[in-house]
Structure 1
């Protein structure tokens, strides 16, 4: 029996100073918004969830170069379906894993802080993987993977898989590597390696790049959120 045509987008519940003058990271808006549109256009019902049922938008993701006209309209319209669902986020306890066919971890640097310990989200994704569903992450969303355990191996679901995600080079270019170290969190490259996965680098830190390995679909950065979701749908339709 085919999995349900319903997608669950996970959102970081954390915020923390990252940018100049103490401006904060949080949810990188388009990394949830672009997949939301892709899934809706492909006929999926879509829900949004965070570990605590709360979120804060990332400062950079609200700037003009990152949130362009059409996206900004949807974001600023509190009656849009995306914004309504975001502002009334579900918590893991509200979710029945068997009702979904795609799990998609959106990101923002804040994901590095809460996703490694997000037991509720990890449990949902683990159950969905066991059910034969598609598990996906973009950019820093891969911080959730080490804690998503395959019960048949007791290892991360990415052990022995190839994955991509935000590059350490990109962290260096943004000048935020020291801040990440102060959070006592690994980069996405390091987290993938620690979980037994092979990290596949994009052509450049900001290039649109997605990678599929079986039922694991990953994307490299904000520019890859749309294409990663498209690859999720393609992988889902092959199930």
Structure 2
């Protein structure tokens, strides 16, 4: 008798190409997707990629300065090039029942197309209601800010979470162009926002919510998720 195959993991990526109305390019922070995906694949999980509109996913050019051989090797695979960056799924193509977890990768682009995307919110809420995990790293927490449970409460209310901090945003020099601070809105939603020193690896788990503080925390989120799915 064959064992039941492992459920899949859904990674959410941005379609945003620039900072608001500026000509300054942004998009997905590459390592936040590749480092997470590699660890989950190595643990035996299949990865699917979705974006608010589906299709093309731009890369934040600054993220290419923070790559290593592992990130570049994953980036150069035909699978990632095609299924993530060129032909990402649209939310309507996704059945939440197929997924054990959803993961919101960051990059500044998500600040514009994650927070108010109701189809993505519905996917995450369904995965969570089915006993799955809702996870994010860095700016990816923007996708969690407006998710509501069946009772109408914010998913992150009264929960410990982390994400790109206000101080890290200022250090990045983007405080004047981002539409909001993730830390501020998370706290307004009733979350307890946890943080450590800027740009240091840090991940927080609160039940079926797992969040990472900055680009250097994607692996920590992935490891926590794998540990929990193995239980």
SS of equivalent residue, structure 1 residue 38: helix
SS of equivalent residue, structure 2 residue 169: helix
Counterpart of 2:121?
122
Distance in 2 between residues matched to 1:198 and 1:70, nearest whole Å: 34
SS of equivalent residue, structure 1 residue 47: strand
Return the offset for 1:76: 3.3
- For 1:220, which of 213, 218, 221 is the aligned residue? 213
SS of equivalent residue, structure 2 residue 195: coil
Deviations 1:195-233 (A, max 9, x none): 11100012x110000000000000011110111111111
Residue pair 2:142, 2:182 contacting (<8 A) in 1 also: yes
Counterpart of 2:28?
27
Residue pair 2:157, 2:191 contacting (<8 A) in 1 also: yes
Confirm whether residue 189 of structure 1 aligns to residue 183 of structure 2.
yes
Residue pair 1:26, 1:108 contacting (<8 A) in 2 also: yes
SS of equivalent residue, structure 1 residue 126: helix
Return the offset for 1:83: 2.2
Counterpart of 1:8?
10
Superposition TM-score, scaled by structure 2 size: 0.92
Counterpart of 1:44?
45
Give the ranges of 4+ consecutive aligned residues of structure 1 lying more than 6 Å apart after TM superposition.
none
Counterpart of 1:201?
195
Deviations 1:135-185 (A, max 9, x none): 00000011111221110x2011111100010111111111110111xxxx3
Q: CA RMSD in A?
A: 1.8
Report the structure, 1 or 2, having the larger helix content.
Answer: 1
Counterpart of 2:161?
163
Superposition TM-score, scaled by structure 1 size: 0.89
Distance in 2 between residues matched to 1:3 and 1:98, nearest whole Å: 14
Residue pair 2:6, 2:44 contacting (<8 A) in 1 also: no
Q: Which runs of 5+ in 2 are unaligned?
A: none
Residue pair 1:4, 1:99 contacting (<8 A) in 2 also: no
Return the offset for 1:73: 3.1
- Higher alpha-carbon deviation: 210-219 or 225-234: 225-234
Confirm whether residue 99 of structure 1 aligns to residue 98 of structure 2.
yes
- Higher alpha-carbon deviation: 54-63 or 93-102: 54-63
Return the offset for 1:3: 10
Distance in 2 between residues matched to 1:234 and 1:150, nearest whole Å: 25
- For 1:230, which of 197, 201, 223 is the aligned residue? 223
SS of equivalent residue, structure 1 residue 124: helix
Residue pair 1:3, 1:101 contacting (<8 A) in 2 also: no
- Higher alpha-carbon deviation: 88-97 or 185-194: 185-194
Distance in 2 between residues matched to 1:85 and 1:111, nearest whole Å: 19
How many positions carry a matched residue from both structures? Answer: 225
Return the offset for 1:22: 4.4
